[in-house]
Amino acid sequence: MDLDAEWWAKMRWVVNGSRARLHVGDATAPTLIVNDLKLPPASGAIGLWIGPGSKGYFKSLKVALAR
């Protein structure tokens, strides 16, 4: 999906085992579905990667366990 670099994009990731869903904006349906994350579930750090030569800004980042 195209994102406007001049505006904040609200995103919500839902990860469950080896599956992940990305919701953008206030969408109730996921924008992206990944059914096989290739790595086994693990604990530890979370990395945010933008890409070489790009700038990324994050605001109000929250990580929480699903209920």
pLDDT tens column, 10-50: 899 888 888 999 999 888 899 999 999 888 878 888 888 88
pLDDT value at position 3?
78
In angstroms, the Cα distances linking 57 to 8, 18, 34 are 9, 27, 24
Separation CA 12–CA 24 (nearest Å): 7
Nearest to 13 by CA among 23, 27, 25: 23
Separation CA 63–CA 66 (nearest Å): 10
pLDDT value at position 4?
79
pLDDT value at position 58?
86
Start-to-end CA distance of the chain, whole Å, equals: 28
Q: Where are the alpha helices (H) located in the chain, listed in sequence order?
A: none
